Chain A
Amino acid sequence: MSGINIGVLAVQGDVVENIMATKMAIEELGLDGIVTEVKTPEQISDLDGLIIPGGESTVIGTLSLVNGSLKKIKEKIASGMPVFGICAGMIMLSKKAKDRVVGEMDQPLLDFLDVKIERNTFGRQKDSFESEISMDKIGIKKFQGVFIRAPSILEAGKDVEILSKFNEKIIAVKQGNIIGTAFHPELTGDLSLHKYFVNLIKAKH
């Protein structure tokens, strides 16, 4: 069996950080695999797993629609490819998103994660914060949550497993092979969540 092939969607946002974190996670797990930037449908079609990083969800959505990546990602997720959406990436994976101030938005979404998301739920950049959170269900007792203009989940469907809450707000979820977090593990140096995702891909591989 060949090594696993993980891509980080490189349309916009903090791509390099996720590539580094995933590479280190693979190495620490002693696995064989590669991690690359992906932008085109061709690059995406070869993947065993995909990370959609933080950035601006409106930008990532609009631009991955333009070159056909969005459609390819949809096909891959529908066929069971594990995917990890971080902040903007989680918004991209959702069925429904609205902004706390502006309200309903007409932005391209992948329409998989059965949740209703509120964008910028904690306020603007000045209200961005760090706080220690936990994801006991997946064996991560302590994790430094870095929330940057972060979203939260207002409602989750019955197939959605809630992994973490911050002050009653849902901030991390799992639905089958889809993981979404409102916070940025790639900015912390803590690889536990990336390792969890790599293991999910390996189990599927």
Chain B
Amino acid sequence: MIPLSGDLGDTKGVIKENIGSFGTTRGTSTLKRGFAHMLKNGVVMDVTTVEQAQIAEDAGAVAVMVLDKLPSDVRKAGGVARTASIRIIQEIMDSVTIPVMAKCRIGHVYEAMVLQETNVDMIDESEVLTPADENHHIWKWDFTSPFVNGARNLGEALRRIEEGAAMIRTKGEPGTGNVAEAVIHIKNVNTELRRIKSIYDAGDEQDLISVARELKVSYSVVEETASLGRLPVVNFAAGGISTPADAAYLMTLGCDGVFVGSGIFKADDAKERAQAIVLATTFWEDPDKVKEAQKMIDERQSMLGLDTKNLELRMQERGSTA
């Protein structure tokens, strides 16, 4: 079972107040991580309009992520990519019952505060947007709203968790329609998790401390993760997922769910594809059901996609050294 307690206890994001005769607490680690637990085995879909958000909800999306442009269009447009228009986020919040997430730039504390005030259910500090601070991510313990962060390896994931991320998504290469990078990164994380679990099981504290130094993260986070043999927060896969089989494959690698970006609404059969990807994510253990899901889509209508070897912009590298 994934633990729900964070390291820091009562931080700035934790708010105590009375409602009637009841004392209440908001913004606790249990509530933030617990929110992510409720998304497990689900599909979070990138959307840019109310219409897309409703298609996503009807298809069985567990949440929507609001962007100004889909990642593949961000890639094409170039320039600076910022958080989505607040008015569109609000319109979408008023038209669907599932959680609504939105992205802010890496390190952009005030974009995140604006999103928190807008009352989005989760903030994604995302490499799809142009980073505002390559050296410092947001200190997420200061927020009452939960955050999700991207990671390509265990060190990145644990540093983000230490900063207060309530959920991790293993990064692929966004906006490419190519799942290859997501696969590599999940396998990287899994390999590293197996390594530290074996160190933990051998009772070698000295080696575990050197892991903490190597990953640039505190010993307690490494120890907790090593004892669990998995990330201490919910972990979704993201980046380049375009088909039901893509989603099902990532689920077999131990992800708790998937984010789908351009893959759905950049395809010509978005509605069927949205439903098909949800089916494949839910019933991933049953190849026959995944086949049925795959049959719902037409490969000729998939987004063309990009070879990730020759990209000018590698979004996944943004903020990864911090």
Contact = CB atoms under 8 A, between A and B. Distances in A.
Contacts of A131: 19, 22-25
Contacts of A179: none
Of B2, B31, B145, most buried by chain A (CB within 10 Å of CB) is B31
Given A14-B40, A63-B60, A56 B98 contact: yes
A187 B94 contact: no
Contacts of A33: none
A28 interface: no
A102 B279 contact: no
A46 to B, nearest CB: 18
A199 interface: no
Given A59-B62, A124-B119, A130 B42 contact: no
Interface in A162-197: 166-168, 184, 187
Contacts of B23: 131-132
A125 B95 contact: no
Contact of A146 (B34, B42, B63): B34
Nearest to A105: B97
A16 B228 CA distance: 14
A66 B279 contact: yes
B282 interface: yes
A74 B231 CA distance: 37
A187 B30 contact: yes
B97 A125 contact: no
A133 to B, nearest CB: 8
B31 A55 contact: no
Contact of B119 (A11, A56, A119, A126): A126
A101 to B, nearest CB: 6
Contact of B42 (A12, A17, A132): A12
**By DSSP majority rule, is chain B's interface helix, strand, loop, or mixed?**
loop
A128 B15 CA distance: 11
A102 B121 CA distance: 16
Interface of B: 1-2, 4, 19-28, 30-31, 34-35, 37-42, 57, 60-63, 93-99, 116, 119-122, 144-146, 278-279, 282-283, 289
Given A101-B94, A148-B31, A149-B121, A13 B40 contact: yes
Contacts of B145: 125-126
Nearest to A66: B279
Contact of B116 (A63, A66, A126): A126
A148 B32 CA distance: 9
Nearest to B98: A56
Nearest to A129: B24
A59 B3 CA distance: 24
B60 A59 contact: yes
B94 A88 contact: no
B12 to A, nearest CB: 14
B26 A128 contact: yes
Interface string A102-145: 10010000000000000110011111111111000000000000
A66 to B, nearest CB: 7
Given A14-B40, A62-B60, A126 B144 contact: yes
A119 B98 CA distance: 10
Contact of A120 (B22, B40, B97): B97
B253 to A, nearest CB: 17
A25 interface: no
B25 A12 contact: no
A168 B19 CA distance: 11
Interface in A4-35: 10-17, 20
Nearest to A10: B41
A99 interface: yes
A43 interface: no
